[in-house]
Amino acid sequence: MTRPWQTIASVPTPEGELELRRRGDEGPAADYLIVVGGRVLMTSSARRSEEDLAVRALEALGEGSGAGAAGAVKRKAPQVLVSGLGMGFTLRAALDLLPAAARVTIAELNADVVTWCRGPLAAATNGALADPRVSVVVEDVARVIANAPAGAFDAIVLDLYEGPNVSRPQADDPFYGTAALARSRMALARGGVLAVWSEDPDPSFERRFAGAGFAVSTHRSGRGGRTHVIYLGVRS
């Protein structure tokens, strides 16, 4: 018999109640679910594309088993920005590839999500937020990027809700619009990587991405059924 989901934490948001649910006993073997306004945002059992996002970004940067992509330069102390935090699986995958001297900044808009990842979700990511390479900023990642010094990051990994969305105009989008892509390029070191998770393909975003001074590649993540999209851009 399938165990029922239990809501173990919740917080109101403009989009509805944000809930953390668990099925099974507390610990790394439990299943977790994050829901907003009744819509499932993510589950601990379906995280492949989030992990692939980090792995592909760092391989393009010269880290990991597939290192050596075009434009990749091995860096002794890479500076990486990851947003949002979610359940922490994108962060965990990045930490597993990065050297001891790396520094990872997490930008997360919701402080309660940070609390969940330090609390009930910590076992699921082997304590990713407790890693000494990690610092957390509770802030809109668009603002973090805009305020960053030129060349501050070697990689920016955007694992945001939905990602680019062809169903709405995005030329002025704060994350994926023309000006936003220019700000991300400015915040990246030469040869740095901007990695973007997307729920679905968005050809207009891909064109803007390439037009912003990035060498862009597109990747599908997942097996069978619906697969998500990972956009990688290497800064020229």
Residue 82 — very low, low, confident or very high, per pLDDT cuts 50/70/90? Answer: very high
Q: Is the pLDDT of residue 225 over 50?
A: no
Domain residue spans of the chain: 1-46, 47-235
Q: Helices marked H in 5-147 — which ranges?
A: 48-61, 89-95, 111-118, 141-147
Question: CA 29 → CA 42, 68, 155, 230, distances in Å?
Answer: 17, 35, 31, 28
Stretch 201-223: mean pLDDT: 90
Predicted confidence (pLDDT) per residue in 138-167, tens digit: 999 999 999 999 999 999 999 998 789 767
Is residue 71 predicted with pLDDT exceeding 90?
no
Per residue in 18-31, pLDDT (tens digit) is 999 999 877 777 89
Average pLDDT (160-181) is: 85
Question: Please, is 146 exposed, middle or buried when counting C-beta atoms within 10 Å of its C-beta (0-12, 13-18, 19+)?
Answer: middle
What is the band of 68 on the pLDDT scale with cuts at 50, 70, 90?
A: very low
Assign 107 a pLDDT band (cuts: 50, 70, 90): very high
Q: What average pLDDT does the segment 93-98 reach? A: 95
Quick one: tokens of 194? 């901007």
| Residue 55 or residue 1, greater confidence | 55
CA distances, 86 to each of 40, 75, 121, 194, 211 (Å): 12, 27, 10, 19, 30
Residue 229 has pLDDT above 70, yes or no: yes
Query: How would CATH label the architecture of 47-235?
Result: 3-Layer(aba) Sandwich (3.40)
Pairing of strands 188-198, 153-158: parallel
With a CB cutoff of 8 Å and minimum separation 6, the contacts of 6 are: 21, 22, 23
pLDDT of residue 69: 46
Summarize pLDDT for 116-127 with one digit per residue, the tens: 999 999 999 999
pLDDT band at residue 33 under the 50/70/90 scheme: very high
Mean pLDDT across the stretch 167-190?
A: 90
Which of 10-19, 60-69, 95-104, 177-186 has the least mean pLDDT?
60-69
- Computed over every residue of the chain, the mean pLDDT equals 90
Mean predicted confidence (pLDDT) in 191-207: 94
